[in-house]
Amino acid sequence: MPRIKKYCEQDVIEKATVLFWKHGYQATSMQMLEKAMGINKFSIYASFKNKEGVFLACIKAYKEKSKEMFQRFHNGNQGVADIKQLFYDSMCTWYQNDEKKGCFVTQSYQEFAETEAIFKNEIWDREGIKELFRIKLAKDPQKDEETLNKQVNFLILSLQSLGTITKVSCPNEVKDYIEMVFNRI
């Protein structure tokens, strides 16, 4: 007879996300997950198979929460203004309850930047976002291919930077940063 779960999977994933967000994947142990999630290792293994499974569930849940923001970005037809709005929407997502959290996806992507971790591509579709930046920037017919390439690269690096600086900077400083980024476009 199968065991009945005595916990809400969404709740335990949120707790695990906070732990991974704070400590990173490598520094988070199964014991830490067990304590933070409030469930035993048997339940963790039964539901998620292993630490990697918990982490992937956290990434999936985090991305699901951002889905509406990215859908709005994808569907927008205002070119550069859509990209700028994405930056502001992202900033608002990363400041929660007056906490400086930064971006969980950016932090995780950076942790695996030097490795060929099997879930590196699961974390962030960097190339997909770059392509959307290109499409939105190309709405300006005066931009040549070289300018488009440089601006796409500048924006993707700026978005990654934004995910990091929101962890250590106050909202007013980040707003100034965003304004300066878009003064360059």
Q: Which domain holds residue 89?
A: 76-185
For the segment 33-44, what is each residue's pLDDT rounded down to a tens digit?
999 999 999 999
User: Based on the domain organization, do 55 and 101 belong to the same domain?
Assistant: no
Q: How many domains does the chain have?
A: 2
Give the residue from 16, 43, 66 where a domain finishes.
66
Is position 168 within any domain?
Answer: yes
Considering the domain architecture, whether residues 92 and 33 belong to the same structural domain is answered as no
**Same-domain pairing of 61 and 85:** no
Q: How far is CA 74 from the centre of its chain?
A: 16
The C-alpha torsion from 4 through 7 and 8 to 14, rounded to 10°, is -140
Q: What is the mean pLDDT of residues 69-96?
A: 91
Torsion sign, CA atoms 182, 63, 59, 11: positive
Is residue 86 a part of any domain in this protein?
yes
Strands 99-100 and 95-96: antiparallel
The CATH number for 47's domain is: 1.10.10.60
Do 99 and 164 lie in one domain? The reply is yes
| pLDDT tens digits along 145-185 | 999 999 999 999 999 899 889 888 888 999 999 999 999 89
Tell me: do 53 and 33 sit in the same domain. yes
Lowest mean pLDDT among 7-11, 12-16, 92-96, 120-124: 120-124
Token pair recorded at residue 184: 């360059």
Residue type at position 25: Y
